[in-house]
Amino acid sequence: MLLEGKRLVITGVLTNASIAWHTARVAQEEGAEIVLTGFGRAIRLTERSAKRLPKDAPVFELDINDESHMVSLVEELTSMWGAVDGALHAVAYAPEDALGGRFLSTPAESANITFQTSAFSYKTLAVGLRPLMQAAGGGALVTLDFDNTQMAWPAYDWMGVSKAALVAVTRYLANYLGGDGIRVNAVSAGPLGTVAAKSIPGFEAFEGLWEDRAPLGWDLADPDPVARMAAVLLSDWAAMTTGEVVHVDGGVHAVAANAKEL
């Protein structure tokens, strides 16, 4: 199996509709041991979702912006496994006033928390888990992106800025962690009907665009293609791939117009 014997940390699981949950499911199906993270009142949702996986998985608390949480997680993983082979970073957050066409009026503190939680946190997770991946002889980190490096998306606003920054963080982490044998990549997914996506004002416009433009078509209700690509990047099959943004979006990123529009 693709991930036989791998020990993986999966962050960002709330419901069993999320990309993170489906990545956890695929990872287990491919032989991995996993733990999930959640925090605050929402950790109950994470615990409930853990029970819906093929095998129940431990849930540890992790507020990625709280340094003590990262320290505690590393201690728990050291005690349980002694080493970690990889992790999925599926953490993002923007205050209401940082989205929905409010770009010009967003206060600095809202832009800052969006960047810290949605982009800088990839570095936080990587640095925290680094000793455990070094103990494993290397590892793989994967984050979930929505590509904003070439264009602005209406209503995505400061989350879009943070997702663009996330790509840069991916590349810099790849540069600094390559010597440890740690690969760092991103999966840029098309829009999916997750709880997180539906919280974005104007999300319906994204849906329509993909339905019209994706050369391969796009199913808003199917996270499986994204989860499977994340599993590949977490596996040894991607042994020489790092600093990469892999698009799983039906091909929308590659075309100016679908042939069916011409």
Q: How is the chain split among helix, strand and coil, in percent rounded to 5?
A: 50, 15, 35
Catalytic position from the list 55, 163, 176, 260: 163
Question: Comparing C-alpha atoms, which of 82, 51, 75 is closest to residue 61?
Answer: 75
Could you tell me if 201 and 155 are in contact, meaning their C-beta atoms sit under 8 angstroms apart? yes
Could you tell me if 93 and 121 are in contact, meaning their C-beta atoms sit under 8 angstroms apart? no
Write the CA distances from 75 to 16, 80, 125, 126, integer angstroms.
Answer: 27, 9, 14, 15
DSSP 3-state assignment of 153?
Answer: coil
Catalytic position from the list 6, 51, 156, 260: 156
Measured from the Cβ of residue 14, the count of other Cβ atoms closer than 10 Å reads 19
* Whether 156 is catalytic: yes
Sign of CA dihedral 100, 103, 109, 112: positive
What φ, ψ does residue 226 adopt, rounded to 5°? -70, -45
Catalytic residues: 156, 163
